[in-house]
Structure 1
Amino acid sequence: MKVVISADMEGTAGVTCWAETEPDKPDYPEFQALMTAEMTAACNGALDAGATEIIVKDAHHTGRNLLVDRLPAEVRIVRHWSGHPHSMMFAIDGDCAAAICTGYHDAAGTDSNPLAHSFAGRIMRLMINGALASEFTVNAITAASLGVPSAFLSGDAGICAAAEALVPGIVTLPVSRGFGPATSSLSPGCARERIREGVARALFDPGARHPASLAARWEVELEFANPVEAYRGSFFPGVDYPAPRRLRFARDDWFQVLRTLRFLW
């Protein structure tokens, strides 16, 4: 069984402020280790369920965060950003039995995590087919476009609830909840234990997991913090500029959505 894991950081248990997630800040090494430990717990849960191949995409910030010497022997690690439209899911393919996400956070425009955002800080809101979309939304649809179910997600309570609404049957573990600039979270040790158990449970019965639904047509709207960003993006083919700070486009093929987004944010 081949499994892909996309590992982010802002939804890791204990993470509360930006300085803990940025490599040039003194707080970063402590929380880098916690991110690595949660992802490793997910790997161990996959191995408990019978995984024979695990591909991990380091999907936070520089794409070079995970402490690679701590990874299980069965892991193949993808680091940095290739520029491929699959982005945080780069290296996924139709041979994967399931996709797993750790350390995920809620979408820009929500208040369940003080670090909630969507891909780039300059994006205030991302809408897909009329619904607020997160990084998980995009990544789960990307997996589904290849026939791969999203089986497990850990992160803040908001993104867990959103994931359950988007992907029926997904197993989630909310490790934290935001209160303005503060968070309340599980202890890191408890989070790791529950992540390992949750991933194993999600993969023991892969038939119970289903890919996110795919639409016949995708209508996407982005709202930027700065009108300059929207103006620049308005010149991409097939992109409308309906109002200051807003861009809108529609595509019939999901990969074309990803290709367009790749050049807008």
Structure 2
Amino acid sequence: MKVFICADIEGTAGIVDWEETIRGERGWEEFRELMTLEVLAACEGARAAGATEVVVKDAHDSGRNILVGRLPDYVRVVRSWSGHPDQMMFGIDETFDAAVFTGHHSRAGTEDNPLAHTSNQKISCMYLNGKPASEFTINALCAARYGVPSVFLSGDEGICAEVAGEVPGIVTVETLKGYGNGSNSIAPQRAQKLIREGVERALRQDNKTRMPDVKGPFEVKIEFTNPVTAYQSSWYPGVKTAGPRTITYAADDFFEILRALRFIKG
């Protein structure tokens, strides 16, 4: 069995402030370690379920957060950013049996995490075919393009509830709930235990149906926080202006949506 892990940080147990997510800032060293421990727990769960190879994408900010020396010998790690349209899922392909997501967070415009966002803080809301979309929405569709089911996610309460509606049967672990600029979180050790158990349980299921529909057509709409970013993004071929801060882009093939997002997110 071959498993792909997409690792983010804003849904890591205990996290609450942007400073804790930014390389070199106060608090980042602590939370890069906690992010690493959650990834390690996912790797151990995958191994217990029979995985012979695990590929981890460090998918937060610089792509250089995970303490790679902590990873076991059956793991490969993808760091930094290649520029490929798969972005947070770069490294996945048709040879994988499952996709796992750790440290994930609620989408922009929600209140379930003080660090809620979609891709970056320039976006106030992203929609796919008229429905609000999270980073998971895009990433799960990216995995589905390769025929890979999304089987597990850990993160805040809001994103766990949302993904359950998008991929019925996905196993989730709720790490925290946001209240304004604060959060109420389970202890990191508890989160790591639940992630280890949850990933193993998820991979032992029949996961053939754990994939969103990748049949087009697709339309992505992005509402930016300011009109400047919208104007700049409007110059990508095929992008249409839909308001002072809003653009849209449509395509039949989801890969073309991924390619466009690579350039128009701001």
Shared fold (TM-score, shorter chain, > 0.5): yes
Q: CA deviation at 1:191?
A: 0.3
Normalised by the length of structure 2, the TM-score is 0.98
Equivalent pairs counted in the alignment come to: 265
Equivalent residues in 2 for 1:91-170, closer than 5 Å: 91-170=91-170
Normalised by the length of structure 1, the TM-score is 0.98
User: Deviations 1:226-247 (Å, cap 9, x if unpaired)?
Assistant: 1011111111111100211100
Q: CA deviation at 1:99?
A: 0.1
Aligned partners of 1:151 and 1:209 also within 8 Å = no
Measure, in 1, the Cα distance between the counterparts of 2:191 and 2:262: 33
Measure, in 1, the Cα distance between the counterparts of 2:166 and 2:33: 30
Indicate how the Cα distance of structure 1 residues 255 and 177 shifts in structure 2: closer, same or farther if over 3 A, else same. Answer: same
2:35 aligned residue: 35
5+ residue gaps, structure 2, are none
Q: CA deviation at 1:206?
A: 3.5
5+ residue gaps, structure 1, are none
Measure, in 2, the Cα distance between the counterparts of 1:11 and 1:206: 26
Partner of 2:153, secondary structure, is: strand
User: Deviations 1:131-153 (Å, cap 9, x if unpaired)?
Assistant: 10000000001011111100000
Partner of 1:38, secondary structure, is: helix
Partner of 1:136, secondary structure, is: helix
Percent of aligned pairs sharing the same letter: 52
Partner of 2:111, secondary structure, is: coil
Equivalent residues in 2 for 1:1-265, closer than 5 Å: 1-207=1-207, 209-265=209-265
Measure, in 2, the Cα distance between the counterparts of 1:71 and 1:242: 46
Partner of 2:158, secondary structure, is: helix
Indicate how the Cα distance of structure 1 residues 40 and 209 shifts in structure 2: closer, same or farther if over 3 A, else same. Answer: farther
What amino acid is aligned across from residue 82 of structure 1 in structure 2? S
What amino acid is aligned across from residue 15 of structure 1 in structure 2? I
- What's the Cα RMSD here? 0.9
Aligned partners of 2:222 and 2:246 also within 8 Å = yes
Partner of 1:250, secondary structure, is: strand
Measure, in 2, the Cα distance between the counterparts of 1:208 and 1:224: 36
Measure, in 2, the Cα distance between the counterparts of 1:72 and 1:130: 42
Measure, in 2, the Cα distance between the counterparts of 1:26 and 1:194: 28
Partner of 1:101, secondary structure, is: strand
Measure, in 1, the Cα distance between the counterparts of 2:16 and 2:235: 37
Measure, in 2, the Cα distance between the counterparts of 1:70 and 1:57: 15
Measure, in 1, the Cα distance between the counterparts of 2:244 and 2:58: 34
What amino acid is aligned across from residue 253 of structure 1 in structure 2? D
Deviation beyond 3 Å, 4+ runs, structure 1: 206-209
